[in-house]
Structure 1
Amino acid sequence: MPDASDADGLTVGQVSARLDVTVRALHHWDEIGLARPSLRTAAGYRLYTAGDLERLHRIVVYREVGLGLDRIRAVLDDSTADVPGALRAQRSQVAERIDRLQRLSAGLDRMIDAHERGLLLTVEQQAAIFGPRWDPDWTAQARQRYGDTTQWRQYAERSASRGPEEWQAVADAMAGLERALGDALDAGVTPGSPEADHLVERHREVFASYFPLTRQMQVCLGRMFVEDPGFAAHYDSIRPGLAVWFRRIIDASARAHGIDPDTATWR
Structure 2
Amino acid sequence: MAMKVKEVSELASISVRTLHHYDEIGLLVPDQVTDAGYRMYSDANLERLQQILFFKELGFSLKEIKNILDDPAFDAEEALHMHKLILLEKRQRLDQMITTIDKTVLHLRGEIEMTPKEQFQGFDFSQNPYEQEARERWGDNAVNEANQKLNDQPADKQKELSNQMNDIFRRLAAIRHTAPESAEVQGEIKQWYIYLNEIGNYSPEAFKGLGQMYVDDERFTKNIDQFGEGLAQFMCHAMAVFADQNQ
TM-score relative to the length of structure 1? 0.41
In our comparison, the structure showing a higher alpha carbon Rg is: 1
TM-score when normalising by structure 2: 0.44
